[in-house]
Amino acid sequence: MSTDTPVKETAKVSEMEESFLLSNNELAGLQVIYPGMAERDTLNAFRDIRTRLLHKKPEGNFVVMVSSLDANASTSNFVAMNLAASIAMDENKSAIYLDCNLDAPHADKILQKKPEVGLTDYLDDENIPVPDIIFPSGLHRLRIVPVGNPRETAEEQFASQRMKQLIDHLSERYPNRYVVLDVPPVGSSVVARILAQYVDYAVLVVPFGKVTERQVLSGIDAVTRQRFAGLVYCD
């Protein structure tokens, strides 16, 4: 069943129907932020990242990718998911988390099961419509596209016209939907370089004390300085 029914008026975003909602305890277990959580510093940090990105493009929505500078994809998982969650906290906005992390998929953990189809399946099969790969997240106004089943040619598929068309569709279908791509580490995969050409902004996650200045500059070059929006430091 499709969960991608258009919302053409801003006022209706807050009325998006949810098939289920995760409890605060479940969200805490999944390390997903929520209003009123005890860890105020974490909540406010993501609100600040959201606000800075919104200020960069005050008119219209945007597509942003999140990648890590080290080989640990869990840091980008954490930042990308919570950036999407922070955007969806605004009752006049919605967000979609697009899992592009082939080696360390995160969407399945949030969905608490592996869907039959996802992004790689859609890219491989033109008979799969977009709504079939969009799933409710358990959070208000946040949808998820899981990475899908393994494909030998997945990285090449990311460079396809169908991938570009998907991202364009996800961002253009809703005027107040913001698309967040969770991308493999920029230093160990070509996916970040490929997908950077389809996004408005790129955020790079920097683990404290684990990367050099040269790695930071190389990461910025990989996503292009034009799209580079900033660094997020994580423990």
pLDDT in tens, the chain (235 residues): 345 654 444 445 545 567 789 999 999 999 999 999 999 999 999 999 999 999 999 888 999 999 999 877 788 999 999 999 999 999 999 999 999 998 889 999 999 888 999 999 999 999 999 999 999 999 999 999 999 998 888 889 999 999 999 999 999 998 999 999 999 999 888 999 999 999 999 999 998 877 889 999 999 999 999 999 999 998 7
Residue 68, SS3?
A: strand
pTM: 0.91
**Short-list 79, 76, 15, CA closest to 50:** 79
Q: Cα–Cα distance between 99 and 135 in angstroms, integer?
A: 12
The DSSP symbol for 8 reads: -
Beta strand residue intervals within 125-210, DSSP E? 135-136, 142-145, 177-182, 201-207
Per the listing, tokens 């279908």 go with: 173
The DSSP symbol for 42 reads: H
State the number of CA atoms in the 13 A half-sphere of 192 facing the CB: 31
Q: Cα–Cα distance between 132 and 116 in angstroms, integer?
A: 10
Residue 194 backbone dihedrals phi, psi, to 5 degrees: -65, -50
Q: Cα–Cα distance between 7 and 220 in angstroms, integer?
A: 35
Residue 183, SS3?
A: coil
The answer for residues whose C-beta is within 8 angstroms of residue 21's C-beta and 6 or more apart is 138, 139, 140
Q: Cα–Cα distance between 99 and 141 in angstroms, integer?
A: 17
Beta strand residue intervals within the chain, DSSP E? 63-68, 94-99, 135-136, 142-145, 177-182, 201-207, 228-234
Q: What is the pLDDT of residue 150?
A: 87
Q: What is the pLDDT of residue 189?
A: 84
Residue 117, SS3?
A: coil
Can you read off the two tokens belonging to residue 165? 């068309």
